[in-house]
Copies of this chain bind each other. A is one copy, B any other.
Amino acid sequence: MTEAPARGPYAKSAARRSEIIASATAVFGTHGYRGGSLRQIAKQLDLSLTTVMHHFPTKVSLLAAVLSQEDAADTDFSQRAARDGFIPTVLAIVERNLGRRELVRMFTVVQAEATHADHEAHAWLRARYADVIPEYAAAIEYDRSLGRLTTTTDAVMLADLAIGMWEGIQVRWLADGTDPVAAMRVALDALLLPTPVSAAGR
């Protein structure tokens, strides 16, 4: 079934929302969430502040929309990891991120600010770790049960480290272009495949 294209005022409103979210991603990625303002975002889009506030009445409501773009991108992680394996699935996301530089930068800047307990995104950041780490740990355990990974280290620690190294490697890429896919491949292999799979069963 083909969906009828959205039309009229609703479609226009959805397009405007997306435009505001894209502009907020760039502004928060440059000035941080705290340093960015609805006024800057309106100016960048050549809109009135009233128009922006019609869609996002507060800066924090816009932050929530900006951050949910990130979450929405990887809803099928577990299924993909079960099918393709943890390492190839993570590497595919790192590779896809090459085309979403400003989103990754926004995420990096807001995450750094949000380590503060009184930051508006602090609860989001903690919830994100609490969601993602068990999901990654389960994917690592599953791969191990199939003999696809040879590490014997605790799976939660491995999930922590995979996420930590990923974030650090992406900062470097944002700073000077160092290939994050090659770096993640070496790091994940060292962490998760300490002895080649072919030798592991002996």
Contact = CB atoms under 8 A, between A and B. Distances in A.
Interface of A: 29-32, 34-35, 105, 108-109, 111-116, 122, 125-126, 129, 151, 153, 157, 160-161, 163-169, 171-172, 174-176, 178, 182-183, 186-187, 190-191, 194
A171 B160 contact: no
Given A32-B35, A34-B31, A176-B129, A165 B190 contact: no
Contacts of A112: 105, 108-109, 111-112, 171
12 contacts: A31-B35, A32-B35, A105-B115, A112-B171, A115-B174, A115-B175, A157-B183, A160-B178, A161-B169, A161-B183, A164-B187, A190-B190
A120 to B, nearest CB: 12
A187 B191 CA distance: 7
Contacts of A171: 111-112, 115, 164, 167-168
A176 to B, nearest CB: 6
Contacts of A153: 186, 190
A160 B175 contact: no
**What number of copies of this chain does the assembly contain?**
2
A4 to B, nearest CB: 41
Nearest to A129: B176
A48 to B, nearest CB: 24
A179 B191 CA distance: 18
Contacts of A30: 34, 113, 116
Nearest to A117: B175
